[in-house]
Amino acid sequence: MKPILPAVIVGGLTMALLAGCTTPGAYKKRSDLVSNPAACGAKRFEVYFDNDQAGLTAAARQAISLTATQLQGCDVTKVQVLGLADARTGTAAVNQSLSERRARSVAEALVSAGLPAPAFEVAAAGAAGAVVNGVNDPLRRRTEVLIEAKPRH
């Protein structure tokens, strides 16, 4: 004799699932579940660099281009660019200079992509920016970008 309990459980689950498919309103539309972020709002991203380099990588150029495209039609009110360096090598002066060059290369690329130059605040943290909680952070080889934008009226 075969056990009928598993067959009853499987049959009951199948009926419950099928019942949900035929019940109007049981499932939401995709647009109810997924929302697109507002194009004209705060954007924050990071641009990473190779060791001891201030030139933009292909990925950096793509991130900048994508952000500029998203902000078309927006009123960009503020752009903050902060260059950072990894302090494992080089003097404080070398790392400060590298941070400044990184920040400038990102700012120039953002302006070239169409963001308004008057909205920019460009800064560099140099070697001091590479230390987090007393530990040298190699991921500090980057530039942090924060853009504030609002819809045009």
Per-residue pLDDT of the chain (153 residues; tens, 9 = 90+): 555 545 544 455 455 444 544 555 566 666 555 555 567 889 999 999 988 899 999 999 999 999 999 999 899 999 999 998 877 777 888 889 999 999 999 999 999 999 988 889 998 887 666 555 666 665 678 899 999 999 987
Model pLDDT, residue 13? 47
**How far is the CA of 85 from the CAs of 25, 75, 109, 126, in angstroms?**
54, 31, 19, 6
Q: Taking a C-beta distance cutoff of 8 angstroms, is the pair 64, 47 a contact?
A: yes
| Torsion 25-29-33-38 (CA) sign | negative
Residue 94, φ and ψ in degrees, nearest 5: -65, -45
Q: How far is CA 43 from the centre of its chain?
A: 7
Model pLDDT, residue 17? 45
Q: What is the pTM of this model?
A: 0.70
Model pLDDT, residue 29? 67
Distance, in Å, from the CA atom of 26 to the CA atom of 19, rounded to the nearest integer, reads: 10
Q: Which homologous superfamily does the CATH classification assign to the domain defined by 43-151? A: OmpA-like domain (3.30.1330.60)
**Side chain identity at residue 17, one-letter code:** L
